[in-house]
Every structure is written in structure tokens, then in C-alpha cells.
Amino acid sequence: MTELEPDDDRSVELSSIVAIFPETQIDPTSPFKATLELPVAPSLPTPVCFQPVDPTPVATLTPPTSVDESKGELDETVKDVHILSHLPPLKLEIELPEGYPSEKPPIIHLSTVPMWLPSSVMDQLRNDCSRLWEECGNDLVVFTYIDHLQQLAETAFNIQNSSGEVCLSRDFKIALLDYNIKAEREKFEQGTFECGVCLEPKKGTVCYRLLRCSHVFCVQCLQDFYNSCIAEGDVDNVKCVAPDCESNKKPPAVQGDAQTPPRKKRDRTLGPSELLQIPLTPEVVQRYAYLKRKKKIEADKTTVYCPRQWCQGAARSKKHPKPEDPMVDDTDASDEEDAAEETQTPTEEDDELPPMAERVAICEDCNYAFCSVCKKGWHGELVRCFPRREEGEQTAEEKATEEYLRLYTTPCPTCNVPCQKQMGCNHMRCFQCDTHFCYLCSAWLSADNPYKHFNDPSGQCFNRLWDLEGGDGLNPDGAEALHRIPEALLNFDDEPPAIIIPAEDSEDEAAFEFDNDQDIHHGPPPPAPDVPPVNNAFRPDHAAARAAAAERRAQARAMNEVRRRDAQQARQEPNQRGEPRRPVRRVPLVGGERADFGLVGRWDGLDRFVQLALEDREDEWDSDELEDF
């Protein structure tokens, strides 16, 4: 630097400026020329709006008298606003001419790189130097002028519009954003911070400030944690590691009506570009971007996968396009809706299947074109197809059938055929293999004495012969049909008709006479039928048939006794007209017994059922016998 003359006022002022601002540079060719860069750091971060056209000078900016609402809403959506704390510095070139300060003011040159300040503002700043020189009485003014510029720099030279934004051309966007990042980094490196992980004080040169929440951690702690998460595939934890970070908390739920659009989900993870700034290796960041997109695709129920076993890649979709550069931040991450979209699974109904034009899918890995419904090679739009069923997959009807069989049937212990009881006791005989078994526990029963199982006090089916008597199923009606009393037995207005058999045997006369022609019965019940033939291949022993025949003969003898008693009582009592009863005839019955057929009581059938219930026996009357009562 050229030595200044000690007696010259210009030399004295420049020496003072160099002492106050050490960064001042003196021109080596001229001792009275100096250059100084004044930083532009507004006291409050300034919103800068980058517009596609050059901004109009502030002096000519006037608010519009009327604004179209639709256009105003459109302008709000296309605004590109960034909050900047540092703007490119103002370069000040000072030249002190001969005769300064008494005769001439200093010569000032102002510039910025890039030229983000409007030319009108630059001209006004230059004129301020002459104005201050005159206000000082033609005295030394350089320091006063520098202080004036610094005060204006704190307010961004008052170029904000009515909304408090600095409107600049979009051509300055990259340069201004890059300078702001560098300035922030330089300021950050000069400080000392305590790492939130290791809790040790570290210089800013070995620390990193997260862009979203501004939490500071040392680079080594962040690298260790994020590398471990990405290696294990836990990409959701690649975010701020501070436990109380507000950016990691979910916003409170807002109760809205049905017309309110669903709340959008905020991506809380770090972007690939920020991981590169920490820095992480490009290989790790590339794996992180791949796993993050893979998890997003798998969470979407509408994703269709390639049917090739060796590929299994996801089909191309407009919702999740494959990025050309996976290292670029995913700008669509914030557009995901918080509530997952409900998708309909294709079924065999044509109305629920996607249209033919939308069924074609192309794998983004192997470029295989296939049908998204039948998972076969693309067959065109004229072929009708249905969803492919996996091996062993059951339809809804098959699942419902299996569930019904499990709840309302009992398998045969021999052939495992499911059997369902419609009505009656729990003594079952398989229709396929003729096995006797219990309907409740599916245990084998002895053909000679099948009821021993229900009379065993130590068994689980003790006294449960008539459980589920009405049948087993969703709406069993067997019990109602079993206990339904005929309407004829419920009519007590008239005396029941008497069945009279004439004493003389005549082939021409009727075998029976009735008091009332309308009350015609079929006569006494015929003998119980014999045991039906059985398949000897399944039942080589006929002991059960012989036991059943013996039981029927005992029932017939009991019936004859009841009829004989009723006939004797009918012969002794007169009828309704006071006339004596006509003689009756004794007819042979089953087992060689004879009975008198006269008045047949309407309660004979009920007495018979009561007697059978008391003796714990089964009813083996034929249906024709039941109709007679």
C-alpha cells in the first residue's frame, strides 16, 4: 500500500477509514482511491419474491385501484418467495479529488454483483454523498457516508413493496440463493455449538445445521446415525434426531366437514441433497432414495406388480413415476394425503373391474406388458378376463361353506363325512358307512345299545340325548314341527266320534260305522312294520334288528291294553242321545291279543307319547298310524 502524505486531509481521512474498516483496499496506482465492500444483512430476514420480469423501480410502483379476485388468487399460487438473511454486498469505490474536502465532494462509484439493486436506487445513493457533504459544511464526509449506507443496508435500502416483499427478477434467483447459503455457512463456522447427540461443544466447522428445524449436531454423530438407519432399511428415522423437534411432531387434527379436502401429509425425512451436504457418500444416499421410494410404492394399495417370478417389479404409474436422477429431492412427497386412499380389489363382477383401456400395465424394471386383472401377457381390449386365483386360494362362497360346516355339522368318525341333524335325538347313523355315532362329540356308539353313551354319568354327553332336538343350523325349525299338536286334538266342542265294528261278519257291509259321516277315520293303526333290510356288507350282525322288533312288539301290547280299557268304558256309558252303545266286536291285534273297538279317546296319542317319554323309548310308529289320532 502506498504511503499517504501526513499533512494532507485526504490522507488523514483514508488512514482513519482503514483503521476502522481493515478490509478497505487502497488502489496501488492512486493513493486517494479506496475500495470497500459493505455487507447487506437486514436486521430481519427479508422475503424476496422472484418474478419472471424485471421489477419496476420502487418510485413508480403504485398499488392497483381494483384487483380481480380470480387473478389475485392465481398470483398467490405462482409466487416464488424465499426468506433471505444475506444479500450480495454493496461495493463502494471512493476517490478523493484535489480540493477535497473544502472545494469538491468525494467521487463515489456503487455496484453489486449481480446488479440486484434497481438503477434508480443506485443513483439516489450516489446523490446522498453530495447531499451529506453539503450538510456537513464542506467537511470530511467519507465515514458519515459509509455509516449512512450501512443503516440503509439494514433495511434492504427500503425497496420493499406494500406487502413487505422485495420483488426482483427471476434471473437473480440462483445467485442470491447461493450467496445466502454461503454467507450463512461462513457465519455458522465462526461460532461454537453444543452437539445434541454427544453433548460436547464443537466448532461450527465440524457441525451441521439442519435446514428444516435449524438444530445443530456434529457431522460425525449425524453420519453414524444416518448410515446405520439406511443400512438397516429404517428410512423413516432419517430425520432430526432431537427428541423435542417440532418438525417431527404430527400437526393437531382439525375437525372439518365432509367437503373439506383431506389433510396432506408432511414428509419429515431429509432429502437426498441435504444428506449430501452433511456429507454422506453418494452410494449411501442412492440406497436411501431407492428404499424411500420402494416403501412409498408398497404402501400404495393400487400398486400392480410384475407377474414374473424373477422380476416382481412395480408397474409404471403416474402417481409414482420412476425418477431419472434418484439423488434429486422428491418434490411430490408433500402431496401425499394423510389418509390412505381406499381401493377396491377386483372381483369377478364386471362392474367392479377397471375398464379394459386401463388394464394394461408395463413393468418399470423389465418392460413386460401384462394385464393388471388376470396377470397374463397383454391380450388386448377384446378379451374378457377375470382375476387370477392363487394356488389354494378360496372364494368367499367356499370360505362361507367351510365356516357353516364347521359350526353346524359333525363329521362321521369312520368316513369323516359331515352330517347335519334336522330334528330328533343325538343318536346318528351315517348315511354313507352306516356307523352309529354321537352328534355332540362324534364318538362311536354300539349298534346293540347306542343309548348307553348318553346314560353314562362319567361321560360328557350324560343326559344330553335330546340336546339340539329341534335341529342344528342357522334357523332350525325341527323342534316346532316335532312338538306341534294337530288341530283336531285341540277341538273340544263335540264328543269324539266312536268307531263301531258290527258283530255280524258280512263282506257286503262296511267294516266300520261312524256316528258322524264327516268324522271318518282310517281305522286302527296297522301293526308296526318289520325291520327294513340292511346292507350286510356294513352290518353282518342282526342283533340290533331283533332288538328293535322286540321293542315294537312290547309297544303294540301296551297299545292293545290301553284300547281294551277304553273300549270297556265306552260300552258302559251311553252316547249323547241317551241311547245305549251298539255292540262292539273284538278283533285280533299284534302278538295274538284281542281288543274291543268302541269309543277311541282323543287323548290316546298323547298318552302314548307320555308313556314312551317316561320309559325313555323311541317312537317307531309309522306315519299312517299317527294320522289315525
- pLDDT tens for residues 361-385? 999 889 899 998 888 888 888 888 8
Q: What is the pLDDT of residue 69?
A: 44
Whole-number Å distance between alpha carbons of 371 and 271: 35
Number of domains, the chain: 3
In a domain, 209, yes or no: no
Lowest mean pLDDT among 69-78, 146-155, 327-336, 613-622: 69-78
Cell 439516489, residue located: 124
Band of pLDDT at residue 160, cut at 50, 70 and 90? confident
Same domain, 604 and 473: no
Inside any domain, residue 418: yes
Per-residue pLDDT tens for 181-196? 899 888 888 888 988 8
Cβ neighbours of residue 119 under 8 Å, at least 6 residues apart?
Answer: 57
Q: What is the mean pLDDT of the chain?
A: 75
What percentage of the chain reaches a pLDDT higher than 70?
66
Q: Are residues 15 and 144 in the same domain?
A: yes
What is the span of the domain harbouring residue 552?
Answer: 495-627
Please identify, among 482, 515, 549, the residue that sits at the C-terminal boundary of a domain.
482
- Name the band, by pLDDT with cuts 50, 70 and 90, for residue 590: very low
Residue 111 lies in a domain: yes
Which of the given ranges, 390-399, 464-473, 496-505, has the highest pLDDT on average?
A: 464-473
Residue 75 lies in a domain: yes
**Residue that the C-alpha cell 467521487 belongs to:** 107
pLDDT tens track for 219-273: 999 999 999 999 998 888 888 888 888 777 766 555 554 455 555 566 788 888 8
> Is a pLDDT exceeding 80 seen at residue 477?
no
In this structure, are 474 and 535 located in the same domain? no
* CATH classification of the domain holding 130: 3.10.110.10
87-95 and 33-40 as β-strands: parallel, antiparallel, unpaired? antiparallel
Helix (H) or strand (E) holding 67: none
Are residues 469 and 580 located together in one domain of the fold? Answer: no
Asked whether the CA dihedral 555, 556, 561, 563 is positive or negative, the reply is: positive
Whole-model pTM above 0.85? no
In a domain, 316, yes or no: no
Do 54 and 97 belong together in one domain? yes
Q: What is the pLDDT of residue 342?
A: 41
Geometric angle at alpha carbon 241, from 237 and 244, rounded to 5°: 115
Query: In terms of domains, do 446 and 476 share one?
Result: yes
- Whether the pLDDT of residue 619 is over 80: the answer is no
Distance of CA 254 to the CA centre of its chain: 20
Judge if 89 and 15 occupy the same domain: yes
Query: Is 90 exceeded by the pLDDT of residue 563?
Result: no
Cα–Cα distance for residue pair 617/433, rounded to 1 Å: 25
Same domain, 424 and 532: no
Segment 8-12 mean pLDDT: 84
- Among the listed residues 381, 359, 377, the one whose alpha carbon sits nearest the alpha carbon of residue 368: 377
pLDDT tens per residue, range 100-127 = 888 888 999 999 999 999 989 999 999 9
User: 459, 482, 505 — which closes off a domain?
Assistant: 482
Contacts of 600 by beta carbon, 8 Å cutoff, 6+ apart: 496, 498, 499, 521, 563, 566
Is residue 454 one of the residues assigned to a domain? Answer: yes
**pLDDT more than 90, % of the chain:** 15
Q: Using one digit for the tens of pLDDT, what is the confidence trace for 546-558?
A: 666 677 777 777 7
Q: 419-445: per-residue pLDDT in tens?
A: 888 888 899 999 889 899 999 898 999
Which residue, 220, 345, 213, 347, is CA-closest to 278? 220
- Asked whether residue 328 is domain-assigned, the answer is no
Q: What is the reported pLDDT for 323?
A: 78
Say how far apart CA 515 and CA 240 lie, in whole Å: 105
Q: Which of 143-157, 471-485, 496-510, 559-573 has the lowest mean pLDDT?
A: 496-510
Torsion (CA) 354, 356, 357, 360 in degrees, nearest 10: 80
Residues 152 and 90 in one domain: yes
Q: Parallel, antiparallel, or unpaired for β 586-588 and 594-596? A: antiparallel
- 88: confidence class by pLDDT, cuts 50, 70, 90: very high
Question: CB–CB of 241/225 below 8 Å?
Answer: yes
Q: Is residue 577 part of a domain?
A: yes
Compute how many other C-beta atoms are within 10 angstroms of the C-beta atom of residue 263: 14
Q: Where among 121, 141, 169 does a domain terminate?
A: 169
Rounded CA separation 304/315 (Å): 6
